[in-house]
Structure 1
């Protein structure tokens, strides 16, 4: 009985990397960590006056509409 030879795509096209010594290892992602890449999604919990505790200002960012202060924090 003859078995057909399947033409399968290379694992390198589906998130795997060829190891130098042979075999394959998974390449989970090439994207940077979300917390570092999306710093603008940082939000503070300041209600009125920050008093120097604002997360946004510590990260050298301006407060946005995501913040509890609605962007009203001041240095």
Structure 2
């Protein structure tokens, strides 16, 4: 919404900002926080970084506002960009791979006899 509003401002189409992702604040406007994730859950689980250290300020996932996922294999145990609640939930899963994107892909490949069970 805010991007559309900004483009319309540049084009000279004056829209009420409070209807387009902004709220009035003392001295100006502030963006409303997003009420939805930046992408579908399946896509967010398929994003990975190329970190080889602790996933500090240069982490691709962190710069995108995402936590590192199971696909971020290089940062492994050194990763400091993890969702603690998600990691805890994954530990409680009975299945070896769970419902993760990677787990679904592995189960699919096992079903096609491309990988051993």
TM-score (norm 1): 0.40
Say which structure is richer in helix: 2
TM-score (norm 2): 0.28
Name which one, 1 or 2, has greater alpha-carbon Rg: 1
